[in-house]
């Protein structure tokens, strides 16, 4: 057992359901964290979240006993270190296409001699409950396979030491396959690619994760063997929920 | 026709459906405004919104052609002026219990000789599209009747010059009636009080508004003759929507 | 047992040691909360903290299992409500001079029929772990006696229903007594006034609290019977600690 | 000589030219302060500046050796204290209409026994260079006379102990006189009222100040005997300057 | 016709006059946007603007019907993607020295197979009015030629597919040519280099743009055939305008 | 003499004692700067400070006549330029392992032809008191030697033109040497490595600097010949100081 509930879950063979945070507010982060998700991932690649916003969001998430993650904007050692120092208990690294890139992501998450992370755990020690290297290294390195090159290399990526999960980005994967940027397609290539990624993870003994459009899709992905599924996104949720109430208000009144 | 779409709607006998903003972010405000609501009210009484947050939120709301309002924390001339200067095209003033208080709220919205507002329309002139007094005074003064004293005085409050709407706060009204703080009750006193307020507005020729738990309730209130109904709240919406997706993900998977 | 650890402590006859937060950052708030204090009070009277800063600070404090309080800038119903809605589990109200003022402060902390608080517990329900009135009303109303008039009325203030503590402001009390604004004085009037306040609290069965210059003074106040003592202030602490290290670096090196 | 360059100037019979800050940024504040003005007034009545924004602005102003002031939103003791504690070396208090109100404003700026200010000079001691009462009380209390009642009482207001200046708000004064909200009018009533205020200040031995539309008006007001003139406003300046460059770019090119 | 007014203008052979935003405030951004400029470029290379500041600025700019751009700090795919996702309808990429670098900048602006941009248009879809790839790719990729290597390669850079404009940085170009960092020089090398860049754009059928010191210079550049000219900068404008008013106030008064 | 007090000190053979800023607040920055340190370094590698936070912090530091530095997150030209443009009078560049990397860091601090910095000194000209290239280039380029490769190359790094200091990171150096991340070790390798770095600096005629755990260690490092020593860190100081007061309050009272 560590202070990282998410990696503990995965170590015990459990699944995790999470949410995505793109709204730069510790209030919305807290509300989302209180729904009972297992992780909340602050999206610093596509979300509207700057570094100054991300820290209070992670503080709010942690307060609920939920594991804070950050999707970084790039496979960049300094940015990964900044996210972890700020208290993320894992990073989701986009657009990883080769085992070398996967190894770089993994190295950015651990200290020498296992990696290249620089020491200065201002909030990492809060998250880990310790300033010991072992505790601080209890973080999830999830790499995204979502390019054609990444797909071609997925087995080697999955086998890269230090990589704890592959997280599928279905929209970018669609574009990589010449399809519109959707989560699911009738075209069998997209689905078979997703399953190839899942199997690569299973073979390598790491977690297969995937971004889902909604809870229903997440349920179906879990049934397939994915173990880390994002069920909702704050920005989309708020828009959909308010629109639904507005529609209900309009429905029979006009 | 003025630059205030909301007061124009009301002047033409139309209704308005709106949303409540309690999350301090211009991103969530923009998302909510894009759903097609007629107004977005930044809640500075019970919302998690400070003055420094409210202005970008109102900028984002206005960009969508939606009318920005502010619920102030108190019937305070300086705070009402601050909200209007910041670009609110109307204020919702809580806990108004007497016609004298209603007159103070109304006076805070207009310049001498009609009121006591101080001149300095830094963003009010943006909202109004003009720095002329007539344009700047095109704002909605909505007062909340939600105390027992307010209920007793509702006809006089509704008849107070300069008051454009009474906005019912059903939760505070419940407490005033010795009931738990809910939007609706089986107890007929609560509902008859709400209808008394609506009728007072109709008699006085002003708008009857009411805070609703959801779109369905809003639809029912519109059917009763309420003309300004809030169909959703950003904070509740985000929690409910994420929780629903999480439930869907859990449902058949466990 | 409630969700308010501080009022639970006091109900069980225990003491509490806390810290004062004047630096507008959720990082420093978290660091202070992790020291093991029982409460952290965000100072919105004399601290450099605006409303937009205070919420992440209280989120960080709560995450550590420490009770967040707010010192409001005035005995103002709307401001007290804002602080409680934002998640403060108690307020410290400055410059309370009469039992009527004390009753107003107390009323601002409870809902009708016990008080005048308006319902809208956006983060109060997070702090209380419930949206039930009983849980939401589990907050500390601490009033400051620090004027000559307040001192003269201290017994009546202490006996005011709903007041949970009197918190002595020794610097303002000094000024009220014609002394320089210090925490302690050789002049016996200051000290006897402080003891009079303490005794008034004991007679009324409420908590006697006091602002202290440092831990040593806090220890002595506890020994006298004070049960709520503030041992440190973030702003002073940081300056003193850095200055001490600088002095150590200079000492024998020049 | 004190740490307050502005009150020192006035004590030595000198004049002061200042600027108004309505844009919530320490960058624009710094730029304005570097122009060589004598004071910069953060406008918390009509400016787009919240408390969380105001402190870095005042830090930036002070860094340039310019005196930071705050125009508060109301004649409110707590808000005046907050502004001074945050490092303002003076306040401009709007809408003061009676000598009693002027005395309240003055009392809010000084500690007992001279006033009612509460002690807690977190940044006031930085501005004053001391935590001594005498130094902390070296602040300017400027009251605005800009209502008809204020005009009628101006001689008594000017004679109120503790008031250091009357600062004329020409736009509100226009409205009070039944005129459109402009800085100058052909109608002689407005101008004679302004001169009446100036003379009241001179008789009382305090500073006459006035808000001006531009530097040219400021120059003319100085020539009349006004000693505190605001020559520019950040928001208006930026709009006018960019518009002028745009016009120059369009001029002969289309 | 698209939702991008700026690229539409350029497609129709029109010119555009814009402004530069270095002050981190949505208030100043709004003021500048309202002057009637065609674009406002948030300067994240040399401006005082962090990511958390930039989004409200772009929201305010868009609200005025003005095209928001971002100058990124580097030719970095992740940063370009972040700017576009945040709602920029174009990027200005500094220090592009080779056609390969230009191609990288262009690729960062488009999705596979045309580029390498990752999908996640949180505010890009707001700006584009659509989440369709075609609409999202309607963005301007402007590269800056301002190094000696860039100048040597300008014709090839201009011919790079996906590059929509070359934006000249005259100050950096000066340094590259061994001159002080000014917008114009008597030395003919600087001017001839600028004209070489313009001609390269014309030959390649793309837009020639240039940073100008003021509106007069912008007018002259337009007359030469430049089609995208920045006429003013918020920071410089505010300083110059306040200084001018101060000078006017001093002029004849001292 | 220049506007850079720190490089002036070093040019005159003097030492400098500084502090590290990891708390994102201009209030704590100001407090630390007022202790009398020679420099304050905003830590953007391991501190909780985003770009939007850093500027007001540097404004507050400069106001006290203390030299503001930034530790950047990486040896990245754009980030170094951003820090200097924002008013840092020097940068501390982590993880520099080769003379080529050192030369890149140095080049990022100077304009062509000496370097590759891009011109746009929005606050650099404030810090330098001039927009002249010579004044703007008066900045400290301090590189950190803290990897095994860096240690092996330290003499060549120290001899790299444009590098003004090597700043030792003892914790990362520990990890590089297979030791736990502490400031000091019994193991002689760590200490001898530190002395090797110091001697390399002395031979090259540049400043040897080192991060210290406290003032006592700083004093000892100064005695060894280090000339740039960091005596305290805001985050650690605040925690230690509050904990000490809490301990004092507990000590004899329980
Ligand atoms: Mg992706
Ligand atoms: Mg209510
Ligand atoms: Mg006090
Ligand atoms: Mg006025
Ligand atoms: Mg350039
Ligand atoms: Mg290091």
For the segment A35-62, the average pLDDT, to the nearest whole number, is 98
How many whole angstroms from C180 Cα to the centroid of ligand 3?
Answer: 13
> How much is the mean pLDDT over chain D?
97
For the segment E156-184, the average pLDDT, to the nearest whole number, is 98
Distance set, CA A131 to CA A120, A121, C232, F49, F239 (Å):
9, 7, 25, 20, 15
For the segment D75-83, the average pLDDT, to the nearest whole number, is 98
How many whole angstroms from B56 Cα to the centroid of ligand 5?
Answer: 30
**E78 CA: distance to closest CA in chain D (Å):** 27
pLDDT for F253: 45
Q: Which single residue is written with the structure tokens 């005629």?
A: F205
- % chain B with pLDDT above 90: 97
Q: Which helix (H) or strand (E) holds B20?
A: strand B16-21
Label residue F17 by pLDDT band (50, 70, 90): very high
pLDDT for D251: 80
- Domain coordinates of chain D in residue numbers? 5-251
* B52·D52 Cβ contact <8 A: yes
How many whole angstroms from B207 Cα to the centroid of ligand 2?
Answer: 18
B208 strand-pairing partners: B166
How many whole angstroms from E93 Cα to the centroid of ligand 5?
Answer: 9
* D52·C47 Cβ contact <8 A: no
Give the residue numbers of D annotated as catalytic, written as ranges: 46
Distance set, CA F13 to CA C252, D57, F199, F220 (Å):
19, 36, 16, 18
Q: Which of residues 184-243 of D touch E (CB under 8 A)?
A: 212, 214-216, 218-219, 222-223, 229, 231-232, 234-235, 237-243
Label residue D83 by pLDDT band (50, 70, 90): very high
The minimal CB distance from C27 to the residues A55, A62, A63 is found for A55
**C26 CA: distance to closest CA in chain F (Å):** 9
Please, are residues B6 and B39 in contact by the beta-carbon 8 Å criterion? yes
Name the closest residue on chain A to residue E55, using Cα atoms. A48
* Distance (Å, whole) CA F116 – CA E167: 19
For the segment B130-150, the average pLDDT, to the nearest whole number, is 97
How many whole angstroms from B132 Cα to the centroid of ligand 4?
Answer: 16
Q: Which single residue is written with the structure tokens 């610093």?
A: A44
**B182 CA: distance to closest CA in chain C (Å):** 10
Name the closest residue on chain A to residue F235, using Cα atoms. A122
The pLDDT tens digits of the residues spanning F81-120 come to: 999 999 999 999 999 999 999 999 999 999 999 999 999 9
Label residue F252 by pLDDT band (50, 70, 90): low
SS3 of chain D: CCCCHHHHHHHCCCCEEEEEECCCCHHHHHHHHCCCCCEEEEECCCCCCCHHHHHHHHHHHHHCCCEEEEECCCCCHHHHHHHHHCCCCEEEECCCCCHHHHHHHHHHCCCCCCCCCCCCCCCHHHHHCCCCHHHHCCCEEEEEECCHHHHHCHHHHHCCCCCCEEEECHHHHHHHCCCCCCCCCCCHHHHHHHHHHHHHHHHHCCEEEEECCCHHHHHHHHHHCCCEEEEEEHHHHHHHHHHHHHHHHHHCCC
* F181·A123 Cβ contact <8 A: no
Q: Quickly count: other Cβ atoms within 10 Å of residue D78's Cβ.
A: 21
Name the closest residue on chain E to residue B66, using Cα atoms. E63
State the CATH architecture for C5-139+209-251.
Alpha-Beta Barrel (3.20)
* Distance (Å, whole) CA F167 – CA F153: 14
pLDDT for E253: 44
Give the residue numbers of A annotated as catalytic, written as ranges: 46
* D51·B55 Cβ contact <8 A: no
Mark whether F and A touch (3+ CB pairs within 8 Å). Answer: yes
- Is pLDDT above 80 for C1? no
How many whole angstroms from C172 Cα to the centroid of ligand 3?
Answer: 5
Rg (Cα) of chain E, in Å, rounded?
18
* F51·E51 Cβ contact <8 A: yes
The pLDDT tens digits of the residues spanning B150-192 come to: 999 999 999 999 999 999 999 999 999 999 999 999 989 999 9
Q: Which of residues 24-53 of E touch D (CB under 8 A)?
A: 24-25, 27-28, 31-32, 34-37, 48
Distance set, CA F154 to CA C213, D87, F191, F226 (Å):
48, 47, 15, 15
pLDDT for A251: 80
- % chain E with pLDDT above 70: 99
- Is pLDDT above 60 for B253? no
The pLDDT tens digits of the residues spanning B193-229 come to: 999 999 999 999 999 999 999 999 999 999 999 999 9
Q: Tokens standing for F30?
A: 């100001």
Name the closest residue on chain B to residue C55, using Cα atoms. B48
For the segment F147-163, the average pLDDT, to the nearest whole number, is 98
Mark whether C and D touch (3+ CB pairs within 8 Å). Answer: yes
pLDDT for F234: 98
Instruction: Give helix C51-63 / helix D51-63 axis angle, nearest 10°.
Output: 110
The pLDDT tens digits of the residues spanning A100-150 come to: 999 999 999 999 999 999 999 999 999 999 999 999 999 999 999 999 999
- % chain B with pLDDT above 70: 99
- Is pLDDT above 70 for A254? no
* Distance (Å, whole) CA D118 – CA D116: 6
* Distance (Å, whole) CA E83 – CA E8: 20
- Is pLDDT above 90 for D250? yes
Give the residue numbers of E annotated as catalytic, written as ranges: 46
Q: Which ligand is nearest to the CA of C144?
A: 3
- Is pLDDT above 90 for E2? no
Find chain B residues with C-beta within 8 A of E26's C-beta: 26, 55-56, 59
List the alpha helices (DSSP H) in A137-233.
148-152, 154-158, 170-176, 188-204, 215-224
> How much is the mean pLDDT over chain B?
97
For the segment F206-213, the average pLDDT, to the nearest whole number, is 98
Q: What is the ipTM of this complex?
A: 0.97
- Is pLDDT above 50 for C157? yes
Label residue F46 by pLDDT band (50, 70, 90): very high
For the segment D82-103, the average pLDDT, to the nearest whole number, is 98
The reply to whether D60 touches chain F by the CB within 8 Å rule is yes
How does DSSP classify residue C4? -
Find chain E residues with C-beta within 8 A of D25's C-beta: 23-25, 27-28
Mark whether B and A touch (3+ CB pairs within 8 Å). Answer: yes
* Distance (Å, whole) CA D147 – CA D197: 12
pLDDT for C252: 61
Q: What are phi and psi of A221, to 5 degrees?
A: -65, -40
The pLDDT tens digits of the residues spanning C40-75 come to: 999 999 999 999 999 999 999 999 999 999 999 999
Surrounding ion ligand 1 within 5 Å at CB are A 146, 169, 172; E 118
Q: Which of B46, B185, B190, B211 is catalytic?
A: B46
Please, are residues B235 and B22 in contact by the beta-carbon 8 Å criterion? yes
Residue B231 CA to chain centroid, in angstroms?
11
For the segment A70-95, the average pLDDT, to the nearest whole number, is 98
B5-251 placed in CATH 3.30.465.10: no
Which one of A73, A83, A180 makes the best mutation probe of the E interface by having the most chain E beta carbons within 10 Å?
A73
> How much is the mean pLDDT over chain F?
97
pLDDT for D253: 45
A144 strand-pairing partners: A167
* B52·C52 Cβ contact <8 A: yes
* B235·A28 Cβ contact <8 A: yes
How many whole angstroms from F183 Cα to the centroid of ligand 6?
Answer: 11
The reply to whether D78 touches chain E by the CB within 8 Å rule is no
The reply to whether A104 touches chain F by the CB within 8 Å rule is no
Find chain F residues with C-beta within 8 A of A133's C-beta: 175, 180-181
Label residue D2 by pLDDT band (50, 70, 90): confident
How many whole angstroms from D164 Cα to the centroid of ligand 3?
Answer: 25
- % chain C with pLDDT above 70: 99
Name the closest residue on chain A to residue E87, using Cα atoms. A48
**Chains with 3 or more CB pairs under 8 A to chain A:** B, C, E, F
């Amino acid at each position: 057992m560590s202070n990282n509930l998410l990696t503990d879950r995965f170590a015990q063979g459990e699944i995790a359901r999470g949410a995505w945070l793109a709204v730069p507010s510790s209030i919305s982060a807290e509300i989302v964290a209180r729904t009972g998700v297992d992780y909340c991932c602050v999206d610093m690649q596509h979300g509207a979240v700057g570094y100054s916003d991300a820290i209070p969001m992670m503080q709010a998430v942690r307060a609920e006993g939920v594991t804070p993650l950050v999707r970084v904007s790039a496979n960049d050692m300094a940015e990964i270190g900044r996210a972890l120092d700020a208290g993320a208990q894992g990073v989701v690294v986009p657009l990883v296409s080769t085992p070398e890139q996967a190894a770089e992501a993994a190295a950015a998450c651990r200290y020498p001699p296992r990696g290249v992370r620089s020491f200065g755990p201002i909030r990492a020690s809060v998250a880990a409950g310790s300033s010991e290297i072992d505790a601080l290294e209890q973080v999830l390195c999830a790499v995204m396979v979502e390019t054609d090159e990444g797909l071609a290399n997925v087995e080697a990526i999955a086998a890269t030491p230090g990589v704890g999960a592959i997280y599928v980005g279905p929209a970018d994967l669609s574009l990589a396959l010449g399809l519109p940027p959707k989560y699911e397609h009738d075209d069998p290539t997209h689905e078979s690619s997703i399953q190839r990624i899942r199997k690569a993870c299973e073979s390598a003994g790491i977690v297969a994760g995937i971004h889902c459009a909604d809870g229903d899709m997440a349920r179906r992905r879990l049934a397939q063997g994915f173990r880390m599924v994002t069920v909702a996104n704050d920005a989309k949720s708020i828009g959909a929920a308010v629109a639904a109430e507005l529609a209900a208000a309009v429905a029979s009144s006009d």
